[in-house]
A = this chain, B = another copy of it.
Amino acid sequence: MMIAQTPPPPYYAVIFTSLRTPVEDGYKDTATLMMTLAQTQPGYLGVESAREGVGITVSYWESLEAIRHWKQQADHLIAQQMGREKWYAQYKTRICLVERDYGFDKE
């Protein structure tokens, strides 16, 4: 996992913060599949993800339209449903306009 290489702002971010249940039952495979599938969606710009107690996945998108399209993608809808039934005790999704960014690179 690297820091996402996103274009100059403005663009959109979806911050998905979650707490897992103890249930595994296909979680990892589905998470990997959704990550791969997201990359093929129109308007996808990148993703960053880490879990340490809480899980934080930030995906980056060109537009709100691209976010809506991904939210309604058929396989993703099924994964969201299984997430609520089995894998997540709690989650919060935040749709954000990235107004400004800056970075640092030691090299």
Contacts and interface: CB of A to CB of B under 8 A. Distances in A.
Given A2-B54, A48-B56, A101 B95 contact: yes
A53 to B, nearest CB: 5
Contacts of A50: 50-56
A104 B89 CA distance: 8
A25 interface: no
Contact of A92 (B18, B93, B101): B101
A51 B103 CA distance: 18
Interface of A: 1-4, 6, 9, 13, 15, 17-19, 21, 48-56, 58, 84, 88-106
A54 B91 contact: no
Given A1-B52, A53-B50, A103 B93 contact: yes
A50 B92 CA distance: 15
A102 B15 CA distance: 11
Given A93-B103, A96-B96, A96-B98, 11 more contacts: A1-B53, A1-B54, A3-B17, A3-B90, A6-B94, A15-B58, A48-B54, A49-B54, A50-B50, A84-B106, A97-B99
